[in-house]
Amino acid sequence: MGATSPSGLELTMAVPGLSSSSGSEGFVGCNNSNNGNGNMRDLDMNQPASGGEEEEFLMGSVEEDEEEVRGAGGPHRPKKLRLSKEQSRLLEESFRLNHTLSPKQKEALAIKLKLRPRQVEVWFQNRRARTKLKHTEMECEYLKRCFGSLTEENRRLQREVEELRAMRMAPPTVLSPHTRQPLPASALTMCPRCERITAATGPRTARLPSSFNPRRPSAAF
DNA sequence: TATGTCAAATTGGGCG
DNA sequence: CGCCCAATTTGACATA
């Protein structure tokens, strides 16, 4: 399936006729903000401004810096991270390989991406949630279509039931055992023993036309 | 610029 | 305790 779709969403549910084309906006949207400085700012947010501070970042000093900023500049939250194109690509790639990370994998990926392990963890959590949501939406669409076709099938069967019922309601044609001519309805009676329609003139069971037999013997109207 | 969308991040609870 | 998940909040960004 579309494991190589731009979205990177792996949707393996066997739901026929569904496209997952709508799954890509997220990351595209996050990355196509290439107004020149978008990625630069993203990187600035995630990485120390200049070299040599990476270890400090990985030790979690970002929060401390943010605290300082907050303390100095007032009660504003730190700017929200926007992953760079490359970071997203690598995360998607590892997600494709594995939907969950071991602590070691997480650590390694965090170092590789210059992110905190917690950020990698959060990204995987959110990514799993998005995958599940997409999956559920597809399943919902599939079930809706099932409902539609079953409703149609039900209507068709209802019509058939009505036809059969009408057939049964119509007075049956019974041939006279003597003349082989159809008898009038007034000349017919129901045998109490065998519950068959008989000619009133004699005890012999009348021959009913085949059209009178219900198609499904078990159908009780 | 108001609004909607998307994704990063937080929160709180469950589980092994 | 660490991890995961569901629900929610929040900020960045697109666009009408």
Residue A179 is predicted with a pLDDT of: 80
Report the nucleotide nearest the CA of residue A128, measured to C1'.
Answer: C5
Residue A39 resides in a domain: no
Task: Specify the pLDDT at position A200.
Answer: 54
Domain membership of residue A162 (yes or no) is: yes
Sign of CA dihedral A192, A196, A199, A202: negative
Per-residue model confidence (pLDDT) at position A81: 87
Q: What is the residue range of A90's domain?
A: 85-169
User: Which CATH number goes with the domain that contains A119?
Assistant: 1.10.10.60
Residue A119 has pLDDT above 80, yes or no: yes
> Distance in angstroms, CA of A77 to C1' of B12?
21
Residue A207, domain member (yes or no): no
Nearest DNA or RNA nucleotide to A78 (CA to C1'): C11
Domains held by chain A: number:
1
Q: Decide if A203 is inside a domain.
A: no
CB < 8 Å & 24+ apart, contacts of A72-77: none
Q: Which nucleotide has the least CA–C1' distance to A124?
A: C4
Q: What are A112's two structure tokens?
A: 């590789």
Q: What is the pLDDT of residues A48-88, one digit of tens each?
A: 333 333 333 333 333 333 333 333 333 445 678 899 999 99
Nearest to A81 by CA among A30, A22, A7: A30
Q: Is the Cβ atom of A125 within 7 Å of strand B at any atom?
A: yes
Query: What count of other Cβ atoms lies within 10 Å of the Cβ of residue A82?
Result: 17
**Dihedral of alpha carbons A51, A53, A55, A57, sign:** negative
pTM above 0.85, yes or no: no
The one-letter amino acid at A107: E
Is the pLDDT score of A194 beyond 90?
no
- Cβ of A133 < 7 Å from strand B? no
- Chain B bases under 7 Å from protein CB? 5-10
Backbone angles phi, psi at A9, to 5 degrees: -70, 125
pLDDT tens for residues A17-56? 343 333 333 333 333 333 333 333 333 444 433 333 333 3
In angstroms, the CA A91 to CA A126 distance is 12
Residue A9 in tokens: 């969403």
Does A25 map to a domain? no
pLDDT for the residue A191? 62
Q: Bigger pLDDT: A101 or A80?
A: A101
Name which of A54, A107, A60, A115 is nearest A87 in CA terms: A115
